[in-house]
Amino acid sequence: MISLHSCEASPPRSVCEYKASRGGSFAWFLLTFHPEKDNVLEEIVAEIKLEVINSKINAISRLEIEKWLKQFFSDLHWKLYGILRKTTLNEKGISLFFGVLYDDELYFVQFGRIFCVLADHKKMKPVGKDWRNYQVQSLEKMQLLGYNEKDLIIKPQRVRIENNQLFVVISGELAQKIFLTVTDPVSIETLIETYITEDNPLWLILGGSENLAKPKRRKLSRLQVTSIILIFLAVLAAVYVMVGNRFLDQMVHKMRLSVKEEKPLRLEQIPTNLNINSENLKKYMDKLVNMPARNISFTVAWTTELPYQVSLSPSFTLSTIYLVSGNRLSAYDKKSRQLLWTKILEDEILSTTVHQGLLMIYLANQQILGLNTDGIVLWQQYLPTESITGDRFVPCIISNSDDPRLDRSIMVIPSKRGISILDPAKGETLSSITLKQDLDALSVYDSFANCFYAVVDNAVLCVELNIVN
């Protein structure tokens, strides 16, 4: 908390004016000084005070104050220049200090023979212009307000007045007499007040102290709360656009896949609020763009050599890939591509199906097995009729439910030495990838890892689907 300790002036040659808010968190201070005795100084001082009052200084924020000080005193300099040219004063310029206090921070400008000192119980130091060598400087270098026939170089200063510190504003004449004799900074206030009988005295002493009571916290207005929410939503939207590829939709989609594999849901457990409203679906479809995405392409993420021939398309769960070679079933970890386990079955494997984390194996002897991710047979039974071997090159359609990055479905078509992506609505080829060897088998789409698993010349390839929105 900043308080006024002492002030003194001898109008109109020296003036000390100030005005503070009721709580003391805001105040302004005006000090002027002139060495001559002349009635015309009353008119000049009155003009300066009128300009300050009409400026509505209490409406200037802390962020704008330095810019305001430069502009205000640049304009005031030229007004005073016009007035002082018409006077009979020998020194046609004014020494001036003007400070604006925000809590414990003081922003100020100083012109001419007015100087500032910050003192505590250990030392004192000049702030802004140094008082010790002003007598050897010309009036032009002293930057008297209204004196020069050119713009002033105005440099606003900022000082924080801490607890038990004094901020002293004083005329150059008193500064030479007082500061050269000070041995104990603690006594500076008492020493200054002994010069009250001097000719044309001028000083202002402000002191910092601890707050006696904690200030009440200001509650945010409704407008401020609304503004904060809108700014937060704007930043969130900007981050969403910068990250792109509908990362939130992908995250929800992958969480849904994880939950499905861990625990299947019964039909009666599905909430009614997840039902699709036909009207909302129609509105959403009307907003879809012509292309499924702005940019779609394939890249080979990794390749692993195999020591055997693959006879069926790969199957997979969220963490495991299953490969079949005759009656041999092998499981590989998706991330490390390391072999987890191998199982030799009674007969040739004709097809595999993964459902809710369970791997179902169809054998040529009409037997069907249910295995968990560790390769343990959980159940087995015989089919009444012969099973049908699935085609390893059947085109698949990927929709928004399989990959949230898509606006509309795409068709993936395997060929002898490549894989192509088509827009089923227009029949246009969106992208394709050419393989070095013949394609032996291609899995269905892994919507969790956003990829396919292709078997080429005794090697399994992870082919990622890249989509940029």
Confidence label for 365 from pLDDT (cuts 50, 70 and 90)? confident
Q: What is the pLDDT of residues 96-115, one digit of tens each?
A: 999 999 999 999 999 998 99
Place 141 in a pLDDT band, splitting at 50, 70 and 90. confident
Across the range 463-468, mean pLDDT stands at 85
Specify the pTM: 0.48
In the DSSP assignment, the letter for residue 145 is B
Which SS3 state, helix, strand or coil, does residue 93 take?
coil
Q: Which two tokens stand for residue 6?
A: 């002492």
Query: What is the H or E stretch that residue 445 is in?
Result: none
Q: What is the DSSP letter of 219?
A: P
* pLDDT for position 288: 46
Sign of the CA dihedral 434, 439, 444, 448? negative
Quote the DSSP letter at residue 88.
Answer: -
Q: How far apart are CA 115 and CA 31, in angstroms?
A: 11
Spatial separation of the C-alpha atoms in residues 194 and 261, rounded to whole Å = 89
Strand partners, 391: none
**pLDDT of 151-186, one tens digit each?**
888 999 999 999 989 999 999 889 888 887 777 788
Tokens read off for 126? 């000049």
d(Cα 29, Cα 108) in Å, to the nearest integer? 9
pLDDT band at 419; cut points 50, 70, 90 = confident
- Residue 11, CA atoms < 13 Å, CB-side half-sphere: 11
How far apart CA 447 and CA 318 sit, in angstroms, is: 9
Q: Which residue has the tokens 């390749």?
A: 303
Q: Residue 301 corresponds to which tokens in the numbers above?
A: 């993420």
- Decide: 461 and 303 in contact? Cβ < 8 Å: yes
Residue 356, classified by CB atoms within 10 Å of its CB into exposed (0-12), middle (13-18) or buried (19+), is: exposed
**Banded pLDDT at 389 (limits 50, 70, 90):** very low
- 3-class secondary-structure state, position 52: helix
User: 66-103 pLDDT, tens per residue?
Assistant: 999 999 999 999 999 999 999 999 999 999 999 999 99
User: What residues contact 201, with CB distance under 8 A and at least 6 apart?
Assistant: 8, 9, 10, 14, 171, 174, 195
Token pair for 110: 């100083």
Give pLDDT, residue 273. Answer: 45
- State the average pLDDT over residues 364-381: 84
Cβ atoms of 152 and 74 within 8 Å: the answer is yes
Q: How far apart are CA 468 and CA 403, in angstroms?
A: 12
Tokens 């004709």 correspond to what residue? Answer: 350
Residue 126 pairs in a beta bridge with 117
pLDDT of 394 reads: 60
Phi/psi of residue 276, nearest 5 degrees: -80, 125
Q: β-strand 328-333 against 339-344: which pairing, if any?
A: antiparallel
Left (φ > 0), alpha (ψ -120 to 50) or beta: where does 51 sit?
alpha
The residue among 168, 32, 29 whose CA lies nearest residue 107 is 29
Q: What percent of the chain has pLDDT over 90?
A: 34
> CA-to-CA distance for 394 and 413, rounded, in angstroms?
7
Structure-token pair, residue 279: 């009207």
Burial 430-456 (b: 16+ CB within 10 A, else e): bbebebeeebbbbbbbbbbbbbbbbbb
Structure-block tokens of residue 469: 């929105």
Collect all residues with Cβ–Cβ distance below 8 Å to 252 and sequence separation of at least 6.
404
What value does the mean pLDDT of the chain take? 82
Token representation of residue 23: 């709580």
**Helix axis angle, 40-54 to 65-84, nearest 10°:** 150
Q: Which domains does the chain have, with CATH numbers?
A: 2-208 (3.60.40.10), 232-261+291-313+392-469 (no CATH)
The type of residue at 260 is K
